[in-house]
Structure 1
Amino acid sequence: MNQNTLPKAPAIISLPTLLTLLGVLALTIASFVSLAIDWRNLFSVESLASTWKFFQEFAPMNTASPLLQKVLYASLETLAMSALGTGIAAIGGIIMALPASGRFGKPAMYVSRLLLNIGRAIPELVWASIMLIAAGLGPFAGTIALAAHTTGVLGRLFAEALENASPLPESTLRTNGAGAVAAFLFATLPQRLPQMLSYTLYRWENNIRAAAILGVVGAGGLGQMLKYHLSLFQMQTAATVIVAMLLLVAMVDGLSFAIRRWLVS
């Protein structure tokens, strides 16, 4: 066999991949240099002793019955904020994803993508601060803040999912006389619905954590309880709230994971 006809060995790594890795490495090194992290002070004996003393103040947890009732109510409030905010965002995301996927022309696509970029670029805490001015203290502001940010995230993910759907089933229905809406609902949407539901559930997991944090700025739920008791240095009561947060996040994570496994099975 002629040597010229032998297959060439595949390259171990391509040039674009190598340049990307070198760029990431350079950024990582520059980050460590610019931050000037004092590792020696972080892991010094004095620092570790102070940290251990701080954690000791959280034990034992406050398990008084009136407090547990308040924690349960705040947990339900946090759960409701995350679920309702995610539900509103899922509806808003699919509405914004239609023009963002290019179904209504280039101008509509650019405008909708710009709005989605703004929605997800602004953190939940900033949205919550804006909503607190408009709606006042309470879980309503936190719910709208979660919905605003998550709409930007889900809208972009939904748009990419719709862009990657096969156009053949929808075009076949259109050729046979089906309308645009009917063709989309019965051909394109069923292809991507499991993936879109999986995205929504994953964002719900994240919104549980975000909802707990939003309470710090006065948006209700467990976060507001945590801020209140920490500000009064009631560490044992704060420990109860933190444990409730962990249990709530673990419960929603497990439920969401099970549902996503069921969707893809």
Structure 2
Amino acid sequence: MQTMTRESSWRIYTLLLGISALLVLSFYSLDLQLHRLFSERSWTLMSRFFGELLSPNLDSSFLQKVLVASLETIAMSALGTLIAAILGIFFALSASQTHSADPARLRTLTRLLLNALRSIPELVWAALILISVGLGPFAGTLALALHTSGVLGRLFAESIENAPPHCADSLRSNGLSELNIFLYATLPTVLPQLISYTLYRWENNIRAAAVLGVVGGGGLGQMLSFHMGLFQMQETSTLLLSMIILVMLVDGLSYWIRKALAQ
């Protein structure tokens, strides 16, 4: 027992030493110039920048444009997440093994597809889709849907595989089809978890929709990219505040829905 304890301690020390060496090498390879960050000129520029950000543009005509872009961003994220949830549950059925006797012939192939979908960032998906559909929210919506379907498909598959098997085994022993078993036993068990995952991804997609504006994906992100490119900090400040408010509203709504489902 004492020998095993010493071996475990040496393994922990070796692991910590390796992590420390990697951290040191990371700082060395990144060439971090901290003296420039904390220089007087840097602080002067940052102070001027934040000072301009603290005076948002509250002109009624500009706020109207921001409102339209906010609604567009919500629509993009909501529709993209909805499409992803539908695709995710479809992929999850073939990517999961529901019981020990299940052959799950498409499991490996489907999981490879899900890995590919979520490995490609939304920004890259949007750039690829823009070639065929052009600028605008449609490209952003499809980009969110493709990436998120890979994420939700994997999460849904794990939830289905980890669902308690008792009810499903009982129905299976009575000769019900796998579809009926899923609808009447597995789905009711995992549905709250699936909804929670979907709502969480919706929150993430609100923020991701803003990033898609860099490539012309529509919504607040496209306006943010435009005004930041022109160094119009007052307009940028208004857009950032709108994004913060939008994320807070979606976060509060998803929390309320999850709490209602838990009761």
Query: Who is 1:151 aligned against?
Result: 149
Match of 2:118 in 1: 120
C-alpha change, 1:102 and 1:39, in structure 2 (3 Å) is same
Is it true that 1:32 corresponds to 2:30 in the alignment?
no
1:121 and 1:136 map into 2 onto residues whose CA distance is 23
Per-residue CA distance 1:78-119 (angstroms, 9 max, x = gap):
000000000100111111111111356354111101100000
Unaligned runs of 5+ in 2: none
Match for residue 46 of structure 1 among 41, 57, 60: 41
TM-score, normalised to structure 1, is 0.89
- Measured after TM superposition, the shift of residue 57 of structure 1 is 2.7
* Whole-angstrom CA distance in 1 between matches of 2:15 and 2:149: 31
Q: Is residue 72 of structure 2 the alignment partner of residue 74 of structure 1?
A: no
Give the total of aligned pairs.
Answer: 258
Matched letter for residue 53 of structure 2: F
* Cα deviation, residue 29, structure 1: 3.0
Alignment of 1:212-227 (within 5 A): 212-227=210-225
Number of the residue aligned with 2:55: 60
Q: Is the 8 A contact 1:75 1:221 kept in 2?
A: yes
Partner of 2:140: 142
Aligned to 2:92: 97
Which residue of the partner structure matches residue 3 of structure 1? none
Deviation at 1:223, TM superposition (A): 0.7
1:4 counterpart residue number: none
SS in 1 for 2:53: coil
Deviation of 1:37 (Å): 1.1
Note the residue ranges of structure 1 that are not aligned, 5 or more in a row.
1-6
Residues 167 and 22 of structure 1, relative CA distance in 2, 3 Å threshold? farther
- Shift of residue 189, structure 1, vs aligned partner: 1.3
In 2: Cα distance, 1:245 partner to 1:16 partner: 49
For the aligned residue pairs, the C-alpha RMSD in angstroms reads 2.4
Verify the 8 A CA contact 1:97 1:155 in the aligned structure 2.
yes
In the alignment, is the contact (CA less than 8 A) between 2:96 and 2:104 conserved in 1? no
Task: State how far apart, in whole Å, the 2-side matches of 1:17 and 1:177 are.
Answer: 52
- For residues 22 and 134 of structure 1, do their structure 2 counterparts lie closer, same or farther at Cα, with a shift above 3 Å needed? farther
Given that 1:102 and 1:108 are in contact with CA atoms closer than 8 Å, whether structure 2 keeps it comes out as no
Query: What is the SS of the residue equivalent to 1:57?
Result: helix
In 2, the alpha carbon distance for the partners of 1:133 and 1:22 equals 48
Per-residue CA deviation, residues 159-206 of structure 1 (Å, 9 max, x unaligned), is: 111111122211210212322111111111111111111111111110
Q: Deviations over 1:186-244 (max 9, x none)?
A: 11111111111111111111000000111121011001111122223322112111111
